[in-house]
Structure 1
Amino acid sequence: MTITTRRLAEAVDALLPADGPVMVHSSLRSFGQPVEGGADTVLDVLLAGGRTVLVPSFSGSHCAVWVSEGDGPRPRRNGMVYADPSGGPAGVPYTTDCGLIDADMGALPAALIARRDAHRGDHPINSFAAAGPLAAELIAAQRPDDVYGPLRALAERGGDVLLLGVGLNRMTALHLAEQLAGRRLFVRWARAADGAVVAVEAGGCSEGFPGLAPHLAPHARTASVGASRWTVHPLREALATAAAAIAADPELTRCAEPGCLRCEHAIAGGPL
């Protein structure tokens, strides 16, 4: 058995407006069977009808660096233990056309950044990439010191988030909800296009985000394709709902790992 293009199109058309922008987090393995044409077919179906598709295209495993005391301020309560950089990653320079992407991003983001019409954000470890009519506009909102600019632009455009076979722990926009709730984003370091080490904004632990499910469920739309469960969250409503829930009960986002430093520091408010 194979997941056909027609079945994919039926599900996408039922869940998403024909000409709207959508942020997609995906796992092709979630289908439980082969997909006709693979990631490129899924991407083509999502883009059909004039949609714009936004994906995470993170590259921290390639471009991140450790910093020493001489490299500038190292904030306290920053979700990390500072270490001797001699054994850490040296990082390679990031450019928007470098083609570098973390292996755990999955097949769909890798397929998107390989397209000629793709636009990729200016953030060396947590970039977003997009294709479609609004791609340039969404991606232009990202900078190293404004990691979630494209997500704010997506919300302003009335866009959605599609979780294609993955859970809320993959929904990057919930880090923006944390920021809207008053938490400061973590500071990380990476190598920019000119080789210089730069400080950048970054999110923290997302493994506790499923705790927000009861709050987000009333606005969600769902479907199943093969074994893959799809959930669509209208981004504007999801951000407002999640931010309010986090502000009312900060422990909602704590993950199950005892002593998770990123959770502890985020819940306390973030870097000092």
Structure 2
Amino acid sequence: MLTKEDIVDQLGRLNIANKVVCFHSSFKSFGDVQGGPQTIIDAFLESGCTLVCPTFFYSAQTYPARINYLNNGIDYESVPEMCSVNYMGATSQIEPSMGVIAKMLLGIEYTTRTKHPTNSFAIAGKDKALLLANQSPFNVYSAYKAIYSENLPALVILAGVDFESCTPIHYAEELAGKSLFRRWAVQNGQVVEVEEGSCSDGFESLRPYVNKIESEIKIGDSLVRVYNFHCLVDTIAEAIVRDPSITHCGIENCHRCNDMVRGGRNKA
């Protein structure tokens, strides 16, 4: 049975105190954990880090205006015009694929969720206010931009998941000069236009480019891979510049991948 003390001991090897941790995880990968997902969260925060987890929610997406941006990663003829889901920021409004740790983090009183209706992040810890600055519907990765521009000490930690779950790679695409896509969602009863990233199903092909900056530890049964945030996004951005197709998922008719390889949404 994995205890909080066991986790804190392992995290001590990573020196996460006073760092931002972009955390992506599968709770099941840890095995039996005394106290459940809350124990994982407590161990991280008691180790002195600021925790950032993606808490995406797709069900409020809609396409009422039929604004046909060029190269926008979508087949406008195949999408529904309206949806009936109103995003209100409720803790229940999170995709199951985000994992139970991210969902539990949302419900904690000292956590704040970014305001984006489809691609939000849950943030807790001492640097929370800094990471929450400058967010807007057209600045979906504002927390990552704050880490990067402010040169905050930060790690990307993948626990039992691969690069398909590694959200900072979307920010690396921006650094590589890609233009993110536009989508629409119902938020608090209003249709809002928002910015979103690309398909992530091909991201595992980037692993060989970052092997030299990867470290591994075991926490319980989970194989935990750790990267310096700045090194990770810079290395991946350079790889994308050299080979724009490196992130493609391999599905011939994937509009998101095809359009992102071509540079993303046409801003004109």
Q: TM-score, normalised by structure 1?
A: 0.91
> Structure 2 counterpart of 1:259, which letter?
N
Instruction: From 51, 54, 70, give the equivalent of 1:53.
Output: 51
Q: 1:225 to 1:102 in 2, by over 3 A?
A: same
Find runs of 4+ consecutive structure 1 residues off by over 4 angstroms.
Answer: 84-88
Find the counterpart in structure 2 of residue 183 from structure 1.
Answer: 178
The C-alpha deviation readout for 1:103-125, integer Å capped at 9, x for no partner, is: 22111111111011111111010
Structure 1 segment 254-265 matched on structure 2, within 5 A: 254-265=248-259
2-structure distance, mates of 1:262, 1:53: 29
Contact in 2 for aligned 1:15/1:222 (Cα 8 Å): no
Structure 1 segment 200-219 matched on structure 2, within 5 A: 200-219=194-213
Structure 2: runs of 5 or more not aligned: none
The answer to which structure has the higher helix fraction is: 1
Q: CA deviation at 1:52?
A: 0.8
SS of residue paired to 2:76: coil
The C-alpha deviation readout for 1:115-148, integer Å capped at 9, x for no partner, is: 1111111101001111111112212332111000
2-structure distance, mates of 1:229, 1:79: 34
Find the counterpart in structure 1 of residue 9 from structure 2.
Answer: 10
Q: 1:50 to 1:226 in 2, by over 3 A?
A: closer
Q: CA deviation at 1:245?
A: 0.7
Structure 1 segment 54-69 matched on structure 2, within 5 A: 54-61=52-59, 63-69=60-66
1-structure distance, mates of 2:122, 2:132: 7
Q: 1:74 to 1:137 in 2, by over 3 A?
A: same
Q: TM-score, normalised by structure 2?
A: 0.92
2-structure distance, mates of 1:91, 1:113: 19
Q: Which moves more between the two structures, 21-30 or 207-216? A: 207-216
> Structure 2 counterpart of 1:143, which letter?
S
Whether 2:112 is the aligned partner of 1:119: answer yes
What value does the CA root-mean-square deviation take over the aligned residues? 1.8
Find the counterpart in structure 2 of residue 36 from structure 1.
Answer: 34
> Structure 2 counterpart of 1:123, which letter?
H
Structure 1: runs of 5 or more not aligned: none
1-structure distance, mates of 2:172, 2:11: 25
Percent of aligned pairs with the same amino acid: 33
Report how many aligned residue pairs link the two structures: 264
Q: CA deviation at 1:16?
A: 3.6
Find the counterpart in structure 2 of residue 24 from structure 1.
Answer: 23
Find the counterpart in structure 1 of residue 155 from structure 2.
Answer: 160
